[in-house]
């Protein structure tokens, strides 16, 4: 008979992240408010809002006669003027994404073969990518070994290596998968232009929700030029607002974009991003924010926290 107390069940970081987001409540500051301007500058370009697409991978054609999912959402991002992101893809597929939408950030896996990282960075730059980066949070599988993805072995990255990647980049360099002040400060010291605070939909068991650690990271990086992005369960414009209020410069919607993409392709993602921008605009109106940077922690009520 199974003893339910001793199953060794780990906390699901996705559930905890969702619960934490939902525990954050907003106060209203309606007097003197107006409809805000949510346009946002990222890497020298102006986008419609601080809501971006996710660094997804492995999305081939999602139906008969359709383009690959990664190309469809790149086109949607272009239509709504959102910064587009892409994860692990071959150069061949990357070329298609960049042809559809050059305002794309390419996140490269931490291949044990470091030469492959350098060559994928170079390829992205030569094909017009707006920025490049690596997801530092994917070195290990869940079997106590280095992970192997599509036949490629992964390896953790040292600060020395990170410095070299940043130095080699001719466009802004992003470190994705930061989930502590320790790594945020190391990334900044190594010269990263931006970080993504993320647990990569739960690579680390019992991972802390990104928004719980975000304020400490924002404080630690105050006075630097490092842009701070966030993902993990940013499913609607209100979630995006909560991240902005806690100090994020921009956010990526992730799996919440998947159903619209699968069901309706480009149009579905356009609708999803447009709706999120409408929700963000509305909630900024109600909280008295005229610009995304006006959002601040004192607008939030978080159980057990007193800002």
Q: Quick check: 201 binds ligand FMN (CB under 6 A)?
A: yes
First and final C-alpha spacing in the chain: 48
Q: What mask of x and - would describe binding to ligand FMN in positions 212 to 251, judged by CB under 6 A?
A: -------------------xxxx-----------------
Residues from 134 through 173 that contact ligand FMN (CB under 6 A): 135
Active site residue 200: yes
User: Least distance (Å) from ligand FMN to the CB of residue 48?
Assistant: 19
Q: Quick check: 71 binds ligand FMN (CB under 6 A)?
A: no
CA distances from 126 to 54, 72, 90, 196 (A): 22, 22, 15, 24
Nearer to ligand FMN, 74 or 288 (CB): 74
Axis crossing angle, helix 91-100 with helix 114-126, rounded to the nearest 10 = 30
CB 118 within 8 A of CB 124: no
Give the strand pairing for 51-52 and 84-86. unpaired
Residue pointed to by tokens 């599509």: 150
Among the listed residues 12, 58, 216, 263, the single contact to ligand FMN using CB under 6 A: 58
What CA–CA distance (Å, rounded) separates 32 from 306?
25
From the list 138, 199, 200, 233, the catalytic residue is 200
Which residues are CB-contacts of 19 (< 8 A; sequence separation ≥ 6)?
none
Among the listed residues 40, 57, 120, 277, the single contact to ligand FMN using CB under 6 A: 57
| Interface residue list for ligand FMN (CB under 6 A) | 54-58, 87-88, 107, 135, 176, 198, 200-201, 231-234, 254-255
What residues act catalytically?
200
């Amino acid at each position: 008979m199974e003893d339910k107390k001793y199953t060794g069940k780990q906390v699901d970081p996705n559930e905890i992240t969702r619960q934490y987001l939902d525990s954050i409540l907003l106060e209203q500051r309606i007097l003197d408010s107006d409809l805000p301007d949510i346009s946002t500058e990222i890497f020298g370009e102006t986008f419609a809002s601080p809501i971006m697409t996710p660094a997804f991978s492995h999305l081939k054609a999602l139906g008969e006669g359709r383009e690959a999912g990664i190309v469809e959402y790149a086109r949607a991002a272009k239509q709504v003027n959102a910064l587009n992101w892409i994860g692990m893809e071959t150069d061949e597929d990357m070329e298609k994404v960049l042809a559809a939408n050059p305002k794309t950030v390419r996140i490269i896996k931490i291949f044990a073969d470091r030469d492959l990282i350098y060559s994928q960075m170079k390829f992205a730059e030569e094909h017009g990518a707006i920025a490049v980066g690596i997801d530092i949070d994917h070195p290990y599988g869940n079997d106590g070994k280095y992970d192997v993805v599509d036949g490629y072995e992964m390896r953790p990255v040292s600060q020395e290596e990170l410095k070299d990647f940043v130095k080699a980049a001719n466009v802004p360099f992003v470190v994705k998968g930061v989930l502590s002040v320790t790594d945020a400060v190391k990334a900044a010291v190594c010269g990263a232009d931006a970080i993504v605070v993320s647990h990569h939909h739960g690579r680390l068991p019992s991972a802390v929700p990104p928004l719980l650690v975000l304020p400490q990271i924002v404080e630690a990086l105050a006075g630097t030029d490092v842009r701070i992005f966030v993902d993990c369960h940013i499913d609607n414009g209100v979630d995006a607002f909560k991240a902005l209020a806690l100090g994020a410069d921009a956010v990526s919607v992730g799996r919440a974009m998947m159903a619209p993409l699968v069901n309706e392709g480009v149009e579905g993602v356009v609708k999803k991003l447009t709706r999120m921008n409408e929700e963000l605009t509305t909630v900024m109106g109600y909280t008295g924010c005229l610009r995304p940077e006006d959002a601040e922690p004192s607008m939030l009520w978080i159980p057990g926290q007193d800002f």
